[in-house]
Amino acid sequence: MEDYQQLVREYEEREAQRRKYCNLTRIPPSSLAERSRLPRDIHFGKMLYLGYGRNAWHGTWIKRYYPGSISFFEKDLQALSERHRVQGSVFRIEPIPVVYLEYCHDVVVLLAINDRTPASYQPLLENILPFRLDAFWTADEFKIDNWLLTFSLPAWRPDLYPKSYHRMSSSPQGAGRPLRWSRHELDGTEGGICAAFSDFMSRMLRLG
């Protein structure tokens, strides 16, 4: 019994840590213009996005951000889908590449829901000047819906993030019953925004 209670305490402590440090807050890029200084580090990874469709749409999916549709954890997005489902709703949870800019007091998260190639980010990256990011944060690309989304995290805590992700799709089980979720394996590639930002720090450090 004592071992079980210890496991419960450890689980509750970890959940409290996750609620504290894995909580995303969306921020407008323009508010970051004052962050012209160099971040402490840059990290690449993945998070999960909840997409929405209808059976009648035959595989067509809405690809836009709505509150809560980005998370580290499958269970959060599954719970959100239950709150938003109506008759005929289908959902999928898929990993998306994410860039983390680590600062002293928080982390700025960059992600895109779309599937743009690394080359499509080059005009945006040209706004990165030596030791300055103010022009980058006010670039026009940030004003296009879902081109790039910016969030903040309280801290860089990879020990709290899942080690791997899968693509998941839902199917109905009937009225009054939760959605059934099917898991699909993925390869380990990140690509997209992560590949585009691979030389981010060297761009900021160049002498002109």
Whether the CB-CB separation of 40 and 107 falls below 8 Å is answered with no
Q: How many other C-beta atoms are found inside a 10 Å radius of the C-beta of residue 99? A: 22
Whether the CB-CB separation of 127 and 136 falls below 8 Å is answered with yes
Distances (CA, A) of 171 to 40, 78, 124: 43, 12, 39
Distance CA 163, CA 183 (A): 16
pTM metric for this prediction: 0.88
Instruction: Locate the domains of the chain by residue range.
Output: 24-207
Whether the CB-CB separation of 87 and 64 falls below 8 Å is answered with no
Distance CA 73, CA 48 (A): 7
From first to last of its 208 residues, what are the pLDDT tens digits of the chain? 667 677 767 777 888 888 899 999 999 988 888 877 789 999 999 999 999 877 656 666 777 888 999 999 999 999 999 998 888 888 999 999 999 999 999 999 999 988 888 999 999 999 998 888 889 999 988 888 778 899 999 999 999 999 888 899 998 887 778 899 999 877 666 678 999 999 999 988 875 5
